[in-house]
Each structure stands twice: as C-alpha cells, then as structure tokens.
Structure 1
Amino acid sequence: MHGSSWTDIGAALGVTRQAVQQRFHAPHKRYSPEAMTDDLREAMAHVKRAAVQHRNNYIGTEHLLWGLTAEGNSATRLLQAAGISPETVHQSVGTRLSMGASQAAERIAWTPYSRKAIDIAEARSQQHGSEHIDCDDLLIGLAQVGRGVAAAVLSDAGFDLSTLDDASTDSL
C-alpha cells in the first residue's frame, strides 16, 4: 500500500486509522542501545534477527522473549531461579513465531505490548537505581504486560511474578 493514507490502510485492514498508526509506531528514541546493558543489546540483536528471518515487519513480545532466551543472561538466570528451563521457553516461543508474507524492513516497528514491556522494564531499572535496562527487567516487563505471545508462553511455563521474592530478582 505504498503511497496510501493511514485511513486507506486502515480500511483495507478492517481497522481504524488510529489503530494502524498505533500498531506501526516505532519505539521512542530513549530506548537506544546506550540505555541497555551489553547483555540486553546482544538479546536485541537476536530479536531483530528473529523478526527478519521470519519475514515479520514488527517486533512482538514473542520476538523479545525469543531474544532474551537465546543466550545466558539475567533473564535466563531469573527463569532458572523460578525453576523454569530457559531452553524450554526458547523452544516454546520459537514454535509460535509465525512466518510473515513480506520482507522485513530495516527499521521494524514495535507492537504496543512490546513498547509497554520496554516501558515497564525502564521503570523497573530506574526503580532499582540503574541507568541501564537489563534482560531481567525486560522479562519482568513482558510478564507484567500480561498479554501477547510472551505472556502466554511464560504463563504456560509456570512463570509467576507473585512467587518471586525481592532477593531472587535483586541478586541478578
């Protein structure tokens, strides 16, 4: 729909103009790599790779969870502390990544749930006195959003924020 208005795109998709604009809104500039730990930057490389390989033109919560569980980091340690295998979560979310119909763009849009998870992660990192968002912050953000593929995978795996104590999350 190159050259079409937001209204035309919304009509073609059966949604409102506002829904189209919200769905394909890029994350705020404050989520630059400088605001992230090295581990989270590495996880984000996996996130983008998953979106591109699956020909998705968006980054959903499933991409974020897949990237977080691709390598060992504070998110995988938090899962292990909760008695959950990061590898099992990674495989489960991998089966839910769908193949898109178009080539992913260089700049891939974030879904509203993904943006909300990043907002929660940023607030959590600030609350704990850190200047950088880490992988465990984003994992907790995905769980707190409570919607989307990542929340479903985490819930199915038995990840329950109410059972985590401050010691297990602060020690990461």
Structure 2
Amino acid sequence: MEILRYADIDLVETIKRSEEDVNKVLDIVSDILDNVKNNQDKAIREYTEKFDGVTIEDLKVSEDEIKEAYDTLDDELLVALKQAAANIEKFHKKQIPGEWEIEVNPGIVAGQIVRPINSAGCYIPGGRAAYPSSILMTVIPAKIAGVKKVVCVTPPQKDGK
C-alpha cells in the first residue's frame, strides 16, 4: 500500500494513532454515561465536584441567577448579541426544508415530510472563556426548527454559579 504523505506527515499512522486514542477513552466515557443514567443528578453532582472542583446543590439555574447575569451585561455587548441573534435567526429560517410530494406513477406518491425532534440538548462551554455564540448557534436553530424542549448545560463557575 502506498503511504500518503502531506508535509512529511504519515497520514496512515496519524489516523491509526487517533483511533487508538479514541479507544482508550471509550471505556471511561461508557462508565460515566452508565453512572449518569443510573444515578442521574447524584452522579452529575459528583462529576461536577471531581472535574470542576465545585460543589453545587441545585443543577438548574434559577430565574434570579439569569436576571443577575443579564443585568451584568455591558450594553454594547447586549446590542451585539441581539444583532447576532437576529442574523442567525434570519439565516436559519431560510434553511428550513419544504415539504413536498410527487406522484411518481399513477397511484404511487413519494415525498418529504419535515418534522422537528421533540427535544435537544445544547452544550455551552464555560471555564476560562465564555462563548455566547455557542448558545446562539445551537438554541436558535433548534427553536426555528420547531423543537419544543431545548435544554442547555454548561460547567459551573468556581463560585458554583
């Protein structure tokens, strides 16, 4: 087999190495997923303490916390976020596929019916940097598509918020 090379990087070896890296973590990830499935919020709290170094009681962000965070936003940033949201909404509304049907032969109809999924989970990175674009680019398209329940998750800050 001819070895593919790009800038003296052996692509076959690179691909093989990445497959090995994924296989190393699959068992760990599977154990975490099983623990969360079986122990739910208790497991989430344990992993939050283990990985984020934060103990939290309530996993759901309160209305007061949302208001407090909103009130701390710089006015220019808020205007920019609202403009970005409007742009994202306008763009994604154009992406909605239409429903259609065609009679391919007498009595035989084929077509497309578009239906949203019932719920979506959106991961919003936290940590050292905040990326409000993550929430805009995941939640807005889901809502435009007609998803009824959108749940967002993010790691807590060091103060537990």
TM over 0.5: no
* Larger of the two Rg values belongs to structure: 2
Higher strand share: 2
Tell which has more relative contact order, 1 or 2 (C-alpha 8 A, sep 6+): 1
Higher helix share: 1
Query: With structure 2 as the length reference, what TM-score do the two structures score?
Result: 0.24
